[in-house]
Structure 1
């Protein structure tokens, strides 16, 4: 008994081993999908080349029904390989792949998976796949794929299989098979196709007509012609006309040009109605394709057809056959045609450089409708090029308004180097005021500096009001540095409505000068010579010129007793062209005595200047937050919240988030929070998650669903929502903070009971000096450091701080891992070396202790630190400026030891009134 079982057992074990090996090969292959580089892709293709027929089948039989597994790896590998085996020299691999795919096709039961394998056979299949594929021709779900695969194989046996499948196919399958036969242009199918040409089922009729048009046999012509006639030679749902047209093109491609020409001529005669124009166009194209020279007269006639689609086609097709005679034929009698025909032909003359048609173009300029004349202007410009300018200028006087506009547009784009002279000369002799205005505008838009003397002459003449107004308006566009003195002189004689253009012209003259400094000095000198009453005329000029010297001249006038002068100076500052006005605008914004309109202007101007300034984003945020505290209207607050968005800092995000519950501001705040958070993936953590969740609830409008999806995707990508930035100070109380007990070395040596007692005493002392007021952590100058209850190793820390303006010997700091310190102090204290600025590691002895630059804001103003500590190295940004760059922080408590690997963070108490806010930390690996 054992002897009879043993061979079977051995065979069974061997089969299991082989199957395990195959599965292992497949698993190894799939582990590399999808291939992410070209090298890995080539490795996968090489691995598949070593697969046997059985391996291929096993791979494809791993496909699972949609929704029940992951097929992506199999599909990616198999589809790529189905193209790979078509490369030269891969015939053996192709044969193996096709056999394996056929075996898998027979084994799979799910039709979606079968469809995928059929798709592979469409890519790589050959005659050996025909028998397997034809079994699916009458399957409504798979017939389209099977028919397409057979058509792509394209052999005689594939065509025969399709033809056999057509005989007893369902309607759905018949459509797919007929389309495949058409794709193959399989001539033996013609009789069966003709037998079905009158079917009532439109999808099948379309497929049959298409297939007959592809076969291209003479026997199909009557049936195709009748089908097209039955629908009136228009393109409709049956595609009968399209099939007949395609049939004619097919005949032409097969060399049956006489038959094709006969059909095209018939169509051209039959399709006269507008709804048949596409049929007529197709016929004209085919006739021209067969013999264009023979169709020239037909094309010429078509250029004057009333149908614009047909006319455009005829014009385009005629281009290769143009000569003097044909050009004359096109132009003859065009003025008897309707306006659209004239316009089309005139454009054609220009597009094809038909210079011989210039007489007809000029005639159109003289006698055409406004639209025709406008087209003729453009055509004349194309045909004559630079030479057209003089003729067009001469024609201005005799032209109507529409033609003048067309001439003006043509002259604006003219490249004629003599045009400035021609325009200036024309203006000097022109008497018609409307034409004078037009010429002045042309000179202005062309920036013709040589016209300035004439412009000045017109301004000083008795010209009509509209002409003078145009002349003044032209000055900013034509002003030259050499005109500066005359322009400043003109300031005093110009009427109030003309002062603005003159002021702008002065600015342009200064900015265009090669020696701008000298130009500015001319303005300054003239300003200083001008009496007090007239000096405000220069305020907008100084604003446009910008610079420190101009600012110094105007700054004091914001306090002038005269409301008019004070308002003019304020307006100038608000519109200042450079960022140097920022401090003065900040100062101005804090003035309590200011009417609502003036305050609103100052707020808008300050927001603008903050935006154009080159200061770091962190500093911009500080300015905008300060401004937010003093503005009065909801619109002003909205403007500030919107401006915060461009700074893209964490502090800006959190600040805007405070107003998500404000009925008036929540919509603007939501946009700012969303746009900052989504743009910088470094900003995450519980606070950001909370704010973005609020934002999603506030979104409304047509794009709200899309934006919610974007926010949710952003949140989902944050793998640990509890990590990221967390707040160390809640803005309400001292939760998370404690008093300071000794130093890190002493604390670690204390008995827990003693440490607890000492901590309780330290907390009591801490509360005497530290408090929370209006969301700000305040130290009153009495007591000891305040420390975090948690300890930190590597981290990024944000903290805003401010030293009291009225304080003495301002001095504070931030202890990192319980060690002094990132320095904060009053930089005016030169006696202790504070002039080097805040942000240095003050207690270092061996490593750098001073900051790289001074980046402090004045006493009484908020500052912001970004501190990064990794290992024993510290990097500090003060107000967005790098002041400490990866410097080792020494162990102040024992300089023979490195810094502690983990410890508390402390805010130093040093007898100075100091404020802190917005303290956020992110732990780093």
Structure 2
């Protein structure tokens, strides 16, 4: 049953057109027409429904409401939505007549309906729209245990004299919860004539009723109530209890102030204030002080000032808050007077208050706090001084550092960090140059670093090259990356060979920052490379991390050359630098390193992690990233490495990535990571659907665990339910055997002319030949170079085809292809075969004569590595992506078998056999309209 209120309907319906009040259409037809479009889903639909209801008569309204069925026996949503909306609609301007009709209809329905829940709904409608005419009908339900609360609330909302009288009359004999509901309703109305009746019910052992009566009396604010409320609050010692007696007395005082009885309200508040001096009464004391301040704040300034120095922090903070509107120079001086005799927490609170409210008149007291205060007080005074004086405090604060304790120094540091004084860099640098205290030196260096003060570099270099204590020297080295300028690069390169191993990384980071901050970066890079080449072999490797950080092809070539050095130390240094390379240009070298067998586990792990990172940041198609990550997975040596690859695949939302991760949903060590990758790829791309996707997501739901598993299962199930039921991607190759594939028989034209028995015999022979040349191993379909094409059993018209392929490195004449609709072909080349024109790359329509045959670019991976085709064929036109690069763009595929004819409308797909070992995997197809 709808119980919420729709206040926004009032705004929506102000613009409704005026229709004739009634029409003669039978009630059942009008109701059917109305309910056919309920609940209304748009503003226009709501407007139309309200216009229809305006034409309802009293009997029509009654008939509509009588259609309500008991809970669980029907759907009341349409009736409830329409009636509830209309109960607000009739309250808008110009709808008085409609309101009268609605009330009469609702009252008629209330008499006719027998189910209590539906009666309650009609009473709620009268609560929304009712007037004095509904009182007689509603008051009958005040002695009904089930409907008493609804009836009482409805009468309270109507709020007329007769409604109040009805509630008072019912209160006399009401018991239990009914009496509570009536008392609350009278309180809501603030119905003055109810005062005596409520007082008569005050002395009860029922705490709920006593609470309701006290609340109602406080809302009414009658003159005869005060002694009783005071006695009730006094009985509980002015704290909050189950009857809320204290709250009622406080509320009574506020109510008197609101209705103009300020003298009595002030008297009560003063009594409360005097009677609540204990800490456990603090909340009542604060409420009393707030009312006293509300009535006459100027009169209470001294009380507030005194309260601001109270030991009770809750009361103190309340007093300070109430004092804000009255804060001036005089009040500030009052607060400051005697402040240092107060508890430390009081001093801190007042100093913080001065700062927050910019009380500059008390600056002498703030400075005195810096001299005589405890460490916590001094620290607060520093913050306050900064707020009051701003940048002008900079020199004063720096001058205080030497004589300050540790806590105050930390506060000064925080204050200096937020200042924007342009003189700060010079002041800090000057202070550091003349300082000998190690702790203070460290603090100043940290400040200079965090502010990025480049002019401090000479002083920091002096510290590094001098005999400073270890902690100071360490701070100086750590500051270098934050303060260096481009002009400091030569000094950094000089410093690097001399720096001890514990500080080398800071110098290297600083050199990278220096280069990257330069407006003439190319010259800076050249300088680093030259310096590296000039350095002796013992220090040369120290420059590798700098080159790694600045990146670039020239730097890469230099460092990569040492990855093959005969000195193990140089090899490790170069490998480590390459693994941390800042640019994607290191990708090929890292791939090469990842395939090396001779490398210790630490180096291999570094290369592995570096390769995952570089693949992620490289500006290459996601199809190529997936290929790299899959190759890396194959070279992984630990579970953690394999998990990291599966996690990295998640960023590459391709069908191949999803299916590859899905292979590991049954792996005990990898299934959690695989499930997360499958889920996130699938849920973010509704174009990925089909039986395999549904199967994998269903498996993921069973694997989910943890606090969010229920939510995630719902999200996955919702995703599955919203996916198209037909079509989607299907696997043409199951990864286990040659199911779905057959040997090649002739060409499409010849096959079409063959008798069925001849075709069957030829197919049997072709299948035998196929099995000699094609085989499945480790999920890959291989051709050994002997035999003929392999073809799909199914035939296809328009489609999107994904297939991974690889030409063997050892092949002498790398050549293969994919026939579309039985027709050659999307070409696969060994691009080194320039004698046959293979240098143009794979992915072209090789057998075209009139239309383009060569690809738009070379996008092949090196021989012996996997490639990915995405082939789209619609009508006679073909688009090919190779490793994510567009190589054939909507080109007509000619009919090779008869160039006078268009391409066949539907035919098989073939993988070409051409005397070269070729491998295929992940062959997926989606049929297109």
Task: Report the TM-score, using the length of structure 2 for normalisation.
Answer: 0.93
Q: Which runs of 5+ in 2 are unaligned?
A: 1-22
Matched, 1:351 2:356: yes
**Equivalent residue number for residue 228 of structure 1:** 233
Query: Offset of 1:400 from its aligned partner?
Result: 0.8
Query: Unaligned regions of 5+ residues in structure 1, if any?
Result: 1-17
The offset of 1:782, in angstroms, is 2.7
Task: Report what 2:609 is aligned to.
Answer: 604
> In structure 1, how many angstroms separate the alpha carbons of the residues matched to 2:856 and 2:158?
74
1:340 Cα deviation from its structure 2 partner: 1.4
Listed as ranges, the matches of 1:479-498 within 5 Å are 479-498=484-503
In 2 relative to 1, CA 901–112 (structure 1 residues): closer, same or farther, beyond 3 Å? farther
Q: CA deviation at 1:691?
A: 2.5
> CA 1:115–1:629 in 2, change beyond 3 Å: closer, same or farther?
same
2:816 match: secondary structure: strand
Partner of 1:72: 77
How do residues 831-846 of structure 1 correspond to structure 2 at under 5 angstroms?
831-844=835-848
Residue 128 to residue 788, structure 1, CA distance change in 2 (3 Å):
farther
Equivalent of residue 799 in structure 2, options 795, 798, 805: 795
Q: Which of 127, 131, 140 lines up with 1:126 in the alignment? A: 131
Aligned to 1:413: 418
Describe how 1:766-805 pairs up with structure 2 within 5 A: 766-805=770-809
Equivalences for residues 846-861 of structure 1 within 5 A: 848-861=852-865
1:73-128, Cα deviation, whole Å (9 max, x unpaired): 33333333332332222223333333333333333333333333332322222223
* Residue aligning to 2:543: 538
Worse-matched range after superposition: 43-52 or 243-252 = 43-52
- The reply to whether residue 570 of structure 1 matches residue 575 of structure 2 is yes
Q: 3-state DSSP class of the match of 1:25?
A: helix
* Structure-to-structure mapping, 1:725-736, within 5 angstroms: 725-736=729-740
C-alpha distance in structure 1 between counterparts of 2:71 and 2:897, whole Å: 66
Match 1:450 to one of 451, 455, 480: 455
Q: Where in structure 2 are the equivalents of 1:278-293 lying within 5 Å?
A: 278-293=283-298
Hey, what does 1:758 align to over in structure 2?
A: 762
Q: SS at the partner of 1:89? A: coil
Work out whether residues 195 and 217 of structure 2, in 8 Å CA contact, stay in contact via their aligned partners in 1.
Answer: yes
Q: What's the offset of the Cα at 1:566?
A: 0.6
Distance of 2:480 and 2:766 partners within structure 1: 74
User: For residues 844 and 50 of structure 1, what CA distance do their matches in structure 2 show?
Assistant: 74
Change (3 A) 1:752 1:275: farther
The residue aligned with 1:193 is 198
Map 1:701-720 → 2, pairs under 5 A: 701-718=706-723, 720=725
Matches within 5 A, 1:615-694: 615-694=620-699
Deviations 1:795-823 (A, max 9, x none): 33322111222223433232333333333
Structure 2 residue 304 is the aligned partner of structure 1 residue 299: yes
Task: Provide closer, same or farther for how the CA distance between residues 19 and 50 of structure 1 changes in structure 2, counting only shifts above 3 A.
Answer: closer
Output the CA distance in 1 between the equivalents of 2:847 and 2:242. 87
Output the CA distance in 2 between the equivalents of 1:540 and 1:116: 76
1:30-41 equivalent positions in 2, closer than 5 A: 30-41=35-46
Q: Distance in 2 between matches of 1:748 and 1:74?
A: 66
Name the residue aligned to 2:927. Answer: 923
Deviation at 1:219, TM superposition (A): 1.1
Matched, 1:509 2:514: yes
Alignment partner, residue 822 of structure 1: 826
Post-superposition CA distance 1:613-640 (Å, at most 9, x none): 2222222111111011111111111111
* C-alpha distance in structure 1 between counterparts of 2:887 and 2:41, whole Å: 42
Which of 786, 802, 807 is the aligned partner of 2:811? 807
Query: Which deviates further from its counterpart, 200-209 or 58-67?
Result: 58-67
Single out whichever of 434-443 and 133-142 deviates more from structure 2. Answer: 133-142
Give the match for residue 251 of structure 1.
256
- SS of alignment partner, residue 791 of structure 1: coil
Task: Specify the SS of the correspondent of 1:245.
Answer: helix
Residues in 1 aligned to 2:825 and 2:57: alpha-carbon distance in whole angstroms = 70
CA distance in 2, matches of 1:833, 1:127: 97
The answer to which of 94-103 and 569-578 deviates more is 94-103
Query: Comparing 219-228 with 163-172, which one deviates more in the overlay?
Result: 163-172
The SS at the match of 1:518 is helix
Deviates more, 1:28-37 or 1:560-569: 28-37
Counterpart among 203, 206, 210 of residue 211 in structure 2: 206
CA distance in 1, matches of 2:120, 2:321: 46
- 1:559 aligned onto 2:564: yes
Query: Where does residue 383 of structure 1 map in the other structure?
Result: 388
Deviation at 1:545, TM superposition (A): 0.3
Q: CA deviation at 1:34?
A: 4.0
- SS of corresponding position for 1:136: helix
In the TM superposition, what is the alpha-carbon distance from 1:342 to its structure 2 partner? 1.0
Name 1:904's counterpart in structure 2. 908
| Residue 845 of structure 1: how far off its partner (Å) | 5.0
Q: CA deviation at 1:583?
A: 0.9
Q: CA deviation at 1:876?
A: 3.2
- Aligned equivalent of 2:10: none
Cα distance in structure 2, aligned partners of 1:261 and 1:105: 48
Aligned CA distance change for structure 1 residues 523 and 784 (closer, same or farther; 3 Å): same
Deviation sequence 1:575-599 (CA, Å, 0-9, x none): 1111111111010000011111111
User: Using a 3 Å threshold, how does the CA distance of structure 1 residues 172 and 632 change in structure 2: closer, same or farther?
Assistant: same
Closer, same or farther: CA 627–70 of 1 in aligned 2, 3 Å: same
**Cα distance, 1:797–1:224 mapped onto 2, change above 3 Å:** farther
CA apart distance, 1:404 = 0.7
Quote the offset at 1:406 in angstroms.
0.9
Shift of 1:229: 1.3
1:331 corresponds to: 336
Q: For each residue in 1:711-765, what CA deviation from the matched residue of structure 2 results, as whole angstroms up to 9, or x when unmatched?
A: 3333333463x74322211111001111223333443443333322222222222
Q: For 1:388 and 1:320, how far apart are their aligned partners in 2?
A: 28
Question: What is the aligned counterpart of 1:372 among 370, 373, 377?
Answer: 377
| Equivalent of residue 180 in structure 2, options 165, 175, 183 | 175
**Whole-angstrom distance in 2 between the partners of 1:25 and 1:834:** 78
Q: Which residue of 2 aligns with 1:238?
A: 243
Residues 689, 724 of structure 2: 8 Å contact kept: no
Report how far residue 893 of structure 1 moved: 4.4
Q: Secondary structure of the equivalent of 1:141?
A: coil
Instruction: Tell me the CA shift for residue 130 of structure 1.
Output: 2.5
Q: Distance in 1 between matches of 2:214 and 2:457?
A: 74
TM-score (norm 1): 0.94
Which deviates further from its counterpart, 63-72 or 634-643? 63-72
Seen in structure 2, the aligned counterparts of structure 1 residues 420 and 173 have a Cα distance that, compared at 3 Å, is same
What CA distance in whole angstroms lies between the structure 1 residues aligned with 2:844 and 2:91?
Answer: 68
Instruction: Judge which range, 863-872 or 845-854, deviates more.
Output: 845-854
Find the counterpart in structure 1 of residue 554 from structure 2: 549
- SS of the residue aligned with 1:730? coil
Match of 2:427 in 1: 422
Structure 2 CA distance for partners of 1:179 and 1:563, relative to 1, 3 Å? same
1:382 is displaced (CA, Å) by 0.2
Equivalent-residue separation in structure 1 for 2:543 and 2:394 (angstroms): 40
Q: 2:100 aligns to what?
A: 95
CA drift at 1:769: 1.9
CA distance in 2, matches of 1:577, 1:866: 31
Distance 1:66 1:492 in 2: 85
TM-align CA RMSD: 2.3
* CA distance in 2: counterparts of 1:572 and 1:179, whole angstroms: 76
Q: CA, structure 1 residues 868+279, in 2 after alignment: closer, same or farther (shift >3 Å)?
A: farther
- Aligned partner of residue 592 in structure 1, secondary structure: coil
Distance 1:64 1:665 in 2: 55
How far, CA to CA, are the matches of 1:24 and 1:217 in structure 2? 54
